[in-house]
Amino acid sequence: MRHFRRLSHTADVRLLVRGSTLDDLFVAALDALNDLLQHGFCQSAPRLVRRTTILAEATDRTTLLIDFLSAVLTRTMLERVVFCQVHFRELNDRRLTAELRGAPLDRFDHDVKAVTYHEAAIRQAADGAYETLVVVDV
C-alpha cells in the first residue's frame, strides 16, 4: 500500500504520506512530490528516458526521507525532469541508494522551493503502516 493526500496549510503544502513498508513510504513521498510538480504527469505514462542515482546518508530515517526528496527536487529543477519511478537498491534507517527514471517536463504546476523538515516524523500507525507528514514550501 502506498498513499498520500494533501492536508490544509495556510501558505504551503502539507502532505500525509503512508506506506506498508519503509520502501513504500519513500515511494509514496516521491509520488506526492511529483504530483505537486505536475498533477497527473506520472500517471500519463510518459517515456522514462532519463536516469539518475541518488545516494543519501542521515542520522535517522525521517531526515533521510527529507534529504532524499530534497535531492530529487534539486535534480528535477536542474534537469527539468520528473522522476516518476524509483528503485531502492539500498534503503534502511540511515542510508539509501536510489535509482530513478524520469521524463522531461517543461511546465510545472507549482514553484516547489524546498521540502522542509517541519512536522516530518516517520512513525508506525496502529495498522502497522509507516506514515509521516511532509511540508513543502511552494
Partner 1 sequence: MISRENLVQRGPVVWEIPPSFRPGMRVPARLFASAELIESILGDRSLAQLTNVACLPGIVEAAIAMPDIHEGYGFPIGGVAAMDVATGVVSPGGIGYDINCGVRLLLTEETAAQLKPNLHQLADTLNKAVPSGVGRGGHHPVSGAELDAVLRDGLGWAIARGFATEEDAAHIESHGQLPGADPGSVSNQAKKRGHTQLGTMGAGNHFVELDRVETLVEPAVARAYGLFPDQVVALIHCGSRGLGHQVATDYIRTMLRKLPDYGLDLPDRELACAPIGSAEAREYLAGMAAAANFAWVNRQLITHAVRASWKAVLGLKASLPKILYDVSHNIAKRERHTVEGRLAEVLVHRKGATRSFGPGHPDVPAAFRSTGQPVLIPGSMGTASYVLAGTTGAMEISFGSSCHGAGRVLSRSAAKRQINAAALKRRLTGRGIEVRAGSLAGLAEEAPEAYKDVDAVVNVVAQAGLAKIVARLTPLAVVKG
Taking the complex as a whole, the smallest distance from the CB of residue 71 to partner 1 amounts, in Å, to: 9
Could you tell me if 69 and 96 are in contact, meaning their C-beta atoms sit under 8 angstroms apart?
no
Stretch that binds partner 1, among 17-25, 26-34, 41-49, 70-78 (CB under 8 A): 70-78
Here's the x/- map for partner 1, 20-59, by CB under 8 A: it reads as ---------------------------------------x
Q: Of 40, 44, 45, 78, which lies in the binding site for partner 1, with binding defined by CB under 8 A?
A: 78
Is 94 among the residues that bind partner 1 (CB under 8 A)? no
Q: Of 20, 21, 63, 85, which lies in the binding site for partner 1, with binding defined by CB under 8 A?
A: 63
Residue 17 CA to chain centroid, in angstroms? 9
Tell me, what amino acid is at 127?
D
Q: Of 20, 21, 85, 116, which lies in the binding site for partner 1, with binding defined by CB under 8 A?
A: 116
Residue 5 CA to chain centroid, in angstroms? 13
* Contacts of partner 1 in 4-23 (CB under 8 A): 6, 8-13
Residues contacting residue 53 through CB under 8 Å, at least 6 positions apart: 97, 98, 99, 100
Taking the complex as a whole, the smallest distance from the CB of residue 94 to partner 1 amounts, in Å, to: 12
**Cβ-based neighbour number of residue 75 at 10 Å:** 19
Count, residues near partner 1 per rule CB under 8 A:
31
Is 89 among the residues that bind partner 1 (CB under 8 A)? no
